[in-house]
Structure 1
Amino acid sequence: MASPPARRARLRPLARLARALVASAWTGRAGPPHPRPRWLAPRTPGFLSLLPFRTIDLVLIADLVLAFVLFRAVQALLSSDTAHLATPLDEGEIVFIAAASSLPLALRDRWPLMAWRLAAVLIPWGIATRGQDLEAVFSADAVIMYLLVVYAVAVRCERHITIGVWMISVAALWVLGIQSGPNLPGVTFIGIAMVTVTVLLGYNIQARRTAAGRLAEEERRSERALAGQAVLEERARIARELHDVVAHHMSVIAIQAEAVPLKARGDARSLEEGLGEIRTLSLAAMTEMRRVLGVLRDGDGRTDTAPQPGLGRLEELAATARSAGLTVTLRLGGDLLDLPTAVSLSAYRIVQESLSNAMRHAPGSAVTVKISRSGDELNIHVEDDGGDRAAAEAAKAGRGKHTGHGLIGMRERAAMLGGSVWAGPVGKGFAVTAILPIMEEA
């Protein structure tokens, strides 16, 4: 005696078969229609703009036209042949038989499974109404209508429902072939083959459409992920640019605010000049921050470095640092005005951050900025002498414990271009060395 698991394993195919038959005959539902290609659903012309629909469904129109043609053709054929029958058909029976061959076709686009169920009932009913020859089931109108309805089911329904529809169709054709005697077995096999080919064709198209839909959904997900990544990258760029701008200008402003009262010593004119200089630096910082935000959020697809400062503004940068008490010496070599925009911006920001660090950690120090171009590389070296000994010791301690976001930003900028940055104490002072590859922009 087989164990319960073994019995369940043997009964599982039968359960699946029963599920397919029940779903196709009663409980199953068709899936949503696939979007029409534009050539099958053109927009409504302007002179028909008052209609409640915006597109013209050519497939539905074709179904309705074909259903009407079949209805009229069957009606005309039966009206001309009924006088030769032993039991003539009345007008109501003729209309019913014609409707049985056309109504499912009119419904197949919106309700394919219901249209098939209706066809499965109306075709035998129409045969019984004719009441003379089983060959009527294989008439051209019935074949056209049934194959189109089965195709709609295979395209829109789940696989188990399609299998159930195929099995019921094959069983019905087989029974009709047996009851018809020896005259129709060959035609029955042809009918079974036609239904099978139609089901396979419809299912193949459904599988391709499903795969295309999944691919489109994956592409949409990928686009959303890339959009999210772009947002994060933009935030990182904004944070990096704003850090460089704010750190430099705020350092200068803070030093100026502390130095102005000491220099003025009660002199109103000197105090006014010092405050005016602080105001000028503040306005410059605000202007540059607006420029940074405007470029980074530009929707025209331009690069985020195009309007940003470059090495052409080094003298201006050095003058700002000198106003904060540093002694800045620029030593430039090679053609620095013909650099790619991204390289020039990154070099400017590295020098700017190095000067800001000197203002904070080595006030009053002498800073040497060396920039030279050698082949396809740009070499940057910024070194301060440490200023006051106490300030230099504090700077060393602070830099040894925490590199800060400025040095991290320098390294990120260099890495973005494929370069490198080294930073660390040199004697009493501190030095930053960067090597940036010079790569022409595409």
Structure 2
Amino acid sequence: MSRPLSHPALAAADPELAALVDAEERLQTETLRLIPSENYVSTAVLEATGTVLQNKYSEGYAGRRYYEGQQNIDRVERLAADRAKAVFGVEHANVQPYSGSPANLAVYLAFAEPGDTVMGMALPMGGHLTHGWGVSATGKWFRGVQYGVRADTARIDFDEVRDLALKERPKLIFCGGTAVPRTIDFAAFAEIAREVDAVLVADIAHIAGLVAGGAHPSPVPHADVISTTTHKTLRGPRGAMLMSREQYAKPLDKAVFPGLQGGPHNHTTAAVAVALHEAAQPSFRDYAHAVVANAKALAEQLLARGFDLVSGGTDNHLILMDLTPKEVPGKIAAKALDRAGIVVNYNTVPFDTRKPFDPSGIRIGTPSLTSRGLGTEHMPQVADWITRGVEAAGAGDEDALGTVRAEVAELMAAHPAPGLVADPS
């Protein structure tokens, strides 16, 4: 039996596009999504992104707009900002940034001048492009210097970070990244930032949901500015927020608008408000702690199966695997696992000898499977599928990948995803 399209108006207006959306819904329903930056949002968040708030232009901020007719929009934006302040315990929140990279760029505009020195984790070590990496605008317009991790532990050496900061005297120091499997020591970064009179920016895009749910230490007591996306572990729409102490509010707000953006995306702001309301519920705390418990359990199972995990495991939602001992490159493994219904991304590992587009590792995480209700009791099965998938990739065994895919689909059918049609038939 074929599943009916879940967007009848779209299907009537544009059946080609509707079919693609339906195909993506099927894919997300039937596969085991292990990309750590992905998740499932609730039906309520999905509905909020599709409201008539899409129809509004609202340049400016609540109570200070350049367009009339903002009575309801102002209340929506204030609601989202107030909820962000309550959930994270911050003094100021700006919910207008379109996404994480523009949010980070606003931080540069607020506190640095072109050519100033900025410091962040090197991209191959787990950092983010917008932390001053050379190919990014932040590395082209500013002088980026990077810290890394120790070769023996794959963890940050704060003596080295301090020495680099004292030598380079950066205006901004970023902490956080895209492939950091261990707890971020915000207090240690803050001490170094104070010593060199730098603004400390905690980029918690990956771990915001864990922070909100009390499953990761908060940067709020330590960081001057906090940047985050609103999706990933926070389970909101594709957007971003900037949070800070009150003393940094004006330069940040001016950097977002009019510095970088025009009118905010009000439908996204509404969905952010919904996600933050959900994050304030006791069930969200249970979810956040389950994400970490699942990741730790999965890491233990993978180690038992002979996988090399960067830093030896994880403290959060993310696991970075070096497949060099398995003699299967990360890209080949990721594509094979995709054919097996297990969605990961290939990723560089610290001190990788392979090229970024053909690296040694894969990056996996547990937010999506946790949102589907999988628990630690399922992690041996997930580890077994990953093991069989990587082995099949090395052997070129497509039949084995097909077998895994069928098994994955069966388990996924028993655990419907939030926001998706429950019946995958």
- Whose Rg is larger? 1
TM-score of the aligned structures, taking structure 2 as reference length: 0.20
- Structure showing greater relative contact order (alpha-carbon pairs closer than 8 Å, 6 or more residues apart): 2
TM-score of the aligned structures, taking structure 1 as reference length: 0.20
